[in-house]
């Protein structure tokens, strides 16, 4: 008897409404066995590959990515599948070059969608490819497509600030982990036994003593007349000190954490290339171990596999950036 795929899909949707993952697995498997091109069933499988609670393993995210690829192959308009696949490639697998290709494919399908460009800018910034990131930001500003959502506008503005600041630095100062002689490695070596600096701790060390001194000094004065004006003036003085201190502490923390940022980029290059560039002798130090705590279990599993493979990064390696054509990009032209 022929299998009614549509009926099975309705049953799968009912199981999803009831939160019955086992039944969803069974039904989606039956659907795909009959119709391997069922994009919605592949997307259901992608969600089922990830645990309902906790972080997924390397095997789970790999299976989820495979299902996402199938989902967008047969249902190119599935925005959630595109987002999940990109998120897995970057955050779980660290495959930044593959992620660039992933979002370039999305651009070809949805030329007016700003999301692929925003994601590419973020990835290129992680790789230190700020010139390429600036090109895509310019395209984002010029394209006549879907309007940016609020969160997209906020993220685009933040990325624009990062790229603009990086462009103001000298090219030689931008850390390139594939260059074993780059001076950025010396910064990492100097900081390798220390944890990254913390904004709050830096603020307390920098502004805390000044605020305390201001309060003690202000209380030592004897004011005549109404106490309200001196109280307001003292409050404004402390507030101004706090605001300036927050700004200074953030700038100082960023400067102090430059070796940590360099270490993060070196690990990103290892994950993206599948080859080692970070010195093994530094992997047991406090800086490296602290940074890894912020990574997902799947990310750490894959990194461990790369380290164990013991294949060095070729000296001629450079990030593989997909060629960006503008043929499929609509622009608004003024007549």
Task: Tell me if residue 13 falls in helix, strand or coil.
Answer: helix
Mean pLDDT of 207-215: 84
Mean pLDDT of the chain: 89
Average pLDDT value for residue range 244-273 = 92
User: Does residue 314 lie within any of the structural domains?
Assistant: no
Predicted confidence at residue 281, as pLDDT, reads 95
Distance between CA atoms of 269 and 187, rounded to whole angstroms?
17
The 10 Å Cβ neighbour count of residue 187 is 17
Q: For the residues 194-199, what does the mean pLDDT come to? A: 90
283 and 209 belong to one structural domain:
yes
In 3D, which of 138, 98, 85 has the Cα closest to residue 319?
98
pLDDT value of residue 101: 96
Same domain, yes or no, for 21 and 42? yes
Q: How far is CA 127 from the centre of its chain?
A: 11
The answer to whether residues 231 and 332 belong to one domain is: no
For residues 57 and 280, give the distance between their C-alpha atoms in angstroms, rounded to a whole number: 24
Residue 114's pLDDT is: 92
Range in 41-55, 70-84, 202-216 with the lowest mean pLDDT: 202-216
User: Model's pTM, two decimal places?
Assistant: 0.85
Is 243 in the same domain as 278? yes
Q: What is the mean pLDDT of residues 206-217?
A: 83
Taking the CB of residue 208, how many other CB atoms lie within 10 A of it?
A: 14
Pair 164, 259 in one domain: no
- Alpha carbon distance 298, 304 (integer Å): 10
Question: Is 155 among the domain residues?
Answer: yes
pLDDT tens digits, 71-84: 999 999 999 999 99
pLDDT at 2 over 60: no
Q: 79-87 and 58-74 are packed helices; what angle lies between their axes, rounded to 10 degrees?
A: 150
pLDDT at 332: 41
Query: Tell me, what CATH number does 25's domain have?
Result: 1.25.40.10
Determine the distance from the C-alpha atom of residue 324 to the mean position of all C-alpha atoms in its chain, rounded to a whole number: 21
Q: Which domain holds residue 139?
A: 94-174+320-335
Note whether residue 315 is domain-resident.
no
Reading the block at residue 116, the tokens are 């692929």
More confident residue, 163 or 58: 58
Contact between 79 and 149 (Cβ < 8 Å): no
**pLDDT score of 184:** 93
92, 115, 147 - which closes a domain = 92
Dist CA 87 CA 98 (whole Å): 11
Share of the chain above pLDDT 70, in %: 93
Buried b / exposed e over 70-91, threshold 16 CB at 10 Å, is bbbebbbebeebbebbbbbbbe
The reply to whether 157 and 243 lie within a common domain is no
Answer yes or no: is 258 within a domain.
yes
Indicate whether 284 pLDDT > 90: yes
pLDDT tens profile 79-113: 999 999 999 999 999 999 999 999 999 999 988 89
Burial of 216 (0-12, 13-18, 19+ CB in 10 A): exposed
Query: Which of 66, 92, 118 is the C-terminal boundary of a domain?
Result: 92
Confidence of residue 201 (pLDDT cuts 50, 70, 90): confident
**Residue 98 counted as domain residue:** yes
Q: CA torsion sign, 4 to 7 to 12 to 15?
A: negative
Residue 179 within a domain: no
pLDDT exceeds 90 at position 262: yes
- Quick one: 100 and 123 in the same domain? yes
Answer yes or no: do 192 and 170 share one domain. no
Gap between the Cα atoms of 146 and 109, Å rounded: 14
Closest CA to 108 of 331, 262, 324: 324
In a domain, 203, yes or no: yes
From 92, 107, 140, the end of a domain falls on 92
Kindly indicate the confidence band of residue 247, based on its pLDDT and cuts at 50, 70 and 90. confident
Q: Which tens digits make up the pLDDT trace of 130-176? A: 989 999 998 888 876 677 888 888 988 999 988 888 877 766 678 99
- Structurally, the chain folds into a number of domains equal to 3
Does residue 212 sit within a domain? yes
Q: How crowded is residue 22: how many other Cβ atoms within 10 Å of its Cβ?
A: 9
Asked if 134 and 29 sit in the same domain, the reply is no
Closest to 82 measured CA to CA, from 36, 120, 123, 115: 115
Q: Which of 39, 47, 49 is nearest to 72 (CA)?
A: 39
pLDDT band at 186 (very low <50, low <70, confident <90, very high): very high
Cα(111)–Cα(326) distance, rounded to whole angstroms?
A: 9
């Amino acid at each position: 008897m022929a299998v009614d795929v549509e009926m099975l899909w309705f049953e799968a949707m009912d199981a999803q409404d009831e939160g019955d993952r086992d039944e969803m697995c069974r039904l989606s498997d039956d659907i795909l066995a009959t119709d391997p091109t069922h994009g919605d069933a592949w997307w259901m499988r992608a969600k089922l590959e990830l645990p309902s609670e906790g972080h997924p393993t390397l095997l789970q995210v790999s299976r989820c990515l495979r299902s996402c690829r199938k989902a967008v192959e047969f249902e190119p308009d599935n925005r959630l599948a595109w987002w999940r696949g990109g998120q897995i490639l970057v955050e779980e697998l660290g495959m930044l070059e593959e992620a660039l290709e992933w979002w370039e494919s999305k651009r070809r399908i949805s030329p007016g969608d700003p999301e692929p460009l925003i994601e590419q800018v973020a990835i290129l910034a992680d790789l230190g490819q700020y010139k390429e990131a600036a090109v895509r930001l310019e395209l984002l500003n010029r394209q006549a497509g879907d309007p940016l959502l609020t969160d997209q506008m906020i993220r685009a503005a933040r990325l624009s600030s990062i790229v603009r600041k990086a462009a103001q630095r000298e090219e030689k100062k931008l850390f390139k982990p594939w260059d074993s002689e780059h001076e950025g490695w010396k910064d990492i070596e100097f900081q390798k036994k220390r944890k990254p600096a913390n904004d709050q701790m830096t603020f307390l060390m920098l502004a805390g003593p000044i605020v305390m001194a201001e309060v003690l000094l202000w209380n030592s004065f004897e004011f005549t007349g109404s106490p309200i004006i001196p109280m307001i003036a003292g409050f404004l003085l402390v507030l101004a000190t706090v605001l300036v201190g927050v700004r200074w502490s953030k700038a100082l923390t960023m400067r102090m954490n430059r070796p940590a940022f360099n270490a993060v980029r070196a690990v990103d290059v290892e994950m993206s290339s599948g080859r080692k560039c970070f010195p093994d002798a530094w992997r047991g130090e406090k800086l490296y171990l602290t940074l890894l705590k912020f990574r997902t279990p799947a990310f750490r599993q894959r990194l461990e596999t790369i380290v164990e493979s013991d294949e060095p990064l070729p000296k001629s390696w450079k990030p593989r950036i997909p060629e960006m054509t503008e043929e499929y990009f609509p622009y608004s032209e003024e007549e």
